[in-house]
Amino acid sequence: MTSQSSERYAVIVADNFGRSSSVNVAVAEAYDRGVLSAASIMAGGKAFEEAVQIAEKRSRLSVGLHVTLSDGRGVLPHSEVPGLVDMQGCFEQNPSRAWIRYSKPGILKQIDAEINAQFSCLEKAGIRPDYIDSHQHLHMHPALFSMVCRHASRRGIRWVRIPHEPLSWIFQSRNVARGAEPYIEWVAYSVLRVFNLAKVRAHGLLALPYGYGLSQEGQIDEQYLLDILTRSGHIIEIDSRPDIATETGRKVLGALMSSEVRSTLTSRGMVVVGYQDLTEEIMLLDTGVAKGL
């Protein structure tokens, strides 16, 4: 990659890596035979160890920490984070209720400890994450985002996800089943984005200008991918959730392995990269795009 390159770049990510063996199989397939370039791993996932083994065999797969604070299991026991998990070690399943609960100042120390423990799990497994995001985008919470940035910066991680789609894309979205929810999310996340970009810069981190998939809740299909690739800008992230155990997950996997998607990438001059590849390119181009300017 050089500063003279006219190519466009796409980071294509699978979330929930390590949540289950069915997700892990889908991630491996999408990387080996498709266009997947990155996977966000859940430190408390039931199949975490298996995910680590899959990542070890695929050195070019960009791995990030999928901070989990809802709809999953914690790394720390209930005795250490009683405000976060129940007696079985499980977080609040509903992200909206979790968001409200995590707005209480008294619980922030427990959240900080859990995030640190999730990072430590990856480090002990020999994984140095290239980026950080979160399950159900809870890291966008103002108080949590500051913690995430601090931990990432301390560990030399450069990239953090800020989900953001153009408003025009929301209007064109084919996910009519969600009704007005994508529009409400767009407004909320756009406001949060303004404040969180300032925190990204303050911690010396980077964030891509556009992260697609939020309006579809990660449940993309082939046509959705094709639409993004033909309309998107210079550097993008696409968030997906492949899983061979569910119908929607298999549809996502099919999209990631689509020959038409691969052909469109080639014809549009788009190169699929991981975050570990993109960092140097952005620094060389020095366009300011990744800094949210």
pLDDT one-digit tens code per residue, 199-237: 999 999 999 988 998 888 767 899 989 988 888 767 889
Cα–Cα separations (whole angstroms), residue 101 to 4, 51, 98, 202? 48, 30, 5, 26
Whether 3 is in a domain gets the answer: no
What is the pLDDT at residue 200?
A: 95
What is the pLDDT at residue 246?
A: 96
What is the pLDDT at residue 178?
A: 66
What is the pLDDT at residue 140?
A: 95
Other Cβ atoms closer than 10 A to 221: 18
What is the pLDDT at residue 186?
A: 85
Whether 78 is in a domain gets the answer: yes
**Any idea what the CATH number is for the domain that residue 61 is in?**
3.20.20.370
Burial of 269 (0-12, 13-18, 19+ CB in 10 A): exposed
3-class state of residue 182 by DSSP? helix
- For residue 270, how many C-alpha atoms fall within 13 Å in the half-sphere facing its CB? 27
Nearest to 66 by CA among 165, 195, 161, 193: 161
Whether 2 is in a domain gets the answer: no
Number of domains the chain contains = 1
The pTM assigned to this predicted structure is 0.91
What is the pLDDT at residue 203?
A: 95
Whether 39 is in a domain gets the answer: yes
- The DSSP-derived string for 217-267 is TT---HHHHHHHHHH--SEEEEEE---TTSHHHHHHHHHHT-HHHHHHHHH
What is the C-alpha separation between 175 and 224, in angstroms, rounded? 10
User: Residue 184 is part of which domain span?
Assistant: 8-291
**Could you tell me how many residues make up the chain?**
293
Give me the residue label for tokens 């070019």.
60
What residue ranges of the chain have pLDDT lower than 50?
A: 1-4, 283, 286-289, 291-293
Whether 187 is in a domain gets the answer: yes
Whether 1 is in a domain gets the answer: no
Cβ distance 5 to 281 under 8 Å? Answer: yes
Whether 70 is in a domain gets the answer: yes
Whether 111 is in a domain gets the answer: yes
